[in-house]
Amino acid sequence: MGSSNGAINEAEVIALLAKIFQSTDPRIEVGIGDDAAVVKSIDTPTSRQVITTDMAVEGVHFKKEWSSAFEIGRKVTAANLADLLAMGAIPNYLVVAISLTGFEELSWIKDLAEGIAHEAKLGGASVIGGDLTRGESITISMTALGTTLNPILRSGAEVGDSIYLSSLTGWSAAGLRMLENGLAPKSEAEFKAVSEFRAPTIDYEMNFQKASSMCDISDAILIQAKQLAEASGVALSFDMKAISSAPEFAELSSVAQRLEMDVFEFIFGGGEDHVLLATGKSLPGIYVGEVIAGSGLKGLEMKKAPETWRHFN
């Protein structure tokens, strides 16, 4: 594997990664360096393993000219950990497979790994292994493992439940639109939008364990709330006034105004915030509506139907 600063061999990179991802977690018996990792089984017989995987491809999910290696590492990791949280699971381990072109600087690889390690630590997970290969573009594939006693599915919403968001959606989509339009952020809200696109802030401390149903907003509320409604055989009725009074709504609206867009296009059509959408009673987070009898989504009063989330094309 080559570099403009000289040859970088695979052993050198693996040694670097092993150092960055070293862990003191007593459950890890064998970590990076062998053919596979070995971890101690969870003692609780009723606990379930929750497993998810995700892939990020250069030019589709991230661009090096828009995001640093550290931010890219954080973003990919956050996407995986959010899927575990959406199932009511506690993150435990990550396995990461990376395809590199061979022309990356060792410092870029180091920053990528440190971004992964940083976000993993925020979520309470340890990187315990993976794979490294050469390819035509940078691809990062990650598998996350977690545990839960009671998985929270999309099919559990009941009529009479309320709908909650762990935080306001739309920031990442607004940040992407600013970058696409070549707009330099001027306000604190605009800097936040760009930052949330590059590396979303995950609500790791949000306790939705009593939720009746839940999902992660990786694509868009329009897409995933509909999936949840269909899985549960109910309708989700959104309260636009409640959303308008939510924290950060005015700030996000100011970004939408500069972009000459309806803020609700970002909130309902934007993705990759990795906000949790949950149903239940007296949950924390932002109240955004009610579960009612019927099907589909109700209460969406917008000037026009928003484009749902796209990556770059």
Residue 3's pLDDT is what? Answer: 39
Average pLDDT across each block of 10 residues of the chain; the chain has 313 residues. List them in order: 48 78 77 60 71 90 94 96 93 95 92 97 94 92 91 95 97 96 97 97 94 94 94 97 96 97 95 96 97 95 59 50
- pLDDT the model gives residue 269: 94
Note whether 189 and 263 are same-domain residues: yes
Say how far residue 278 (Cα) sits from the centre of its chain.
15
Last-in-domain residue among 123, 148, 173: 148
**In this structure, what token pair is assigned to residue 137?**
């573009």
Q: Do 141 and 192 belong together in one domain?
A: no
58 with 41, same domain?
A: yes
| One domain for residues 142 and 205 | no
Half-sphere exposure of residue 206: CA atoms within 13 angstroms, side-chain side: 27
Say whether both 204 and 222 belong to one domain: yes
Judge if 144 and 25 occupy the same domain. Answer: yes
243: domain range? 154-298
Residue that is written with structure tokens 């579960």 in the block:
291
Region for 256 from its dihedrals, namely left if φ exceeds 0, alpha if ψ lies in -120 to 50, beta otherwise:
alpha
pLDDT for position 6 = 45
For the entire predicted model, the pTM comes to 0.86
Q: Based on the fold, state whether residues 294 and 183 are members of the same structural domain.
A: yes
CATH number of domain containing 86 = 3.30.1330.10
Same domain assignment for residues 253 and 123: no
* Number of domains, the chain: 2
- Supply the CATH number for residue 192's domain: 3.90.650.10
* Residue pLDDT, tens place only, 250-266: 999 999 999 999 999 99
pLDDT of amino acid 205: 92
Q: Are residues 137 and 170 in the same domain?
A: no
State the alpha helices, DSSP H only, in the chain: 10-20, 69-86, 106-123, 171-180, 188-198, 221-232, 240-244, 249-258, 263-269
In a domain, 3, yes or no: no
Over residues 171-187, the pLDDT tens digits come to 999 999 999 999 999 99
Within a domain: 230: yes
Judgement on whether residues 222 and 124 belong to the same structural domain of the protein: no
Do 242 and 293 lie in one domain? The reply is yes
Whole-number Å distance between alpha carbons of 284 and 291? 16
Domain boundary at 148, 178, 203, which?
Answer: 148
Do 137 and 162 lie in one domain? The reply is no
| pLDDT on residue 37 | 55
Domain boundary among 121, 148, 175: 148
74, two tokens: 């954080």
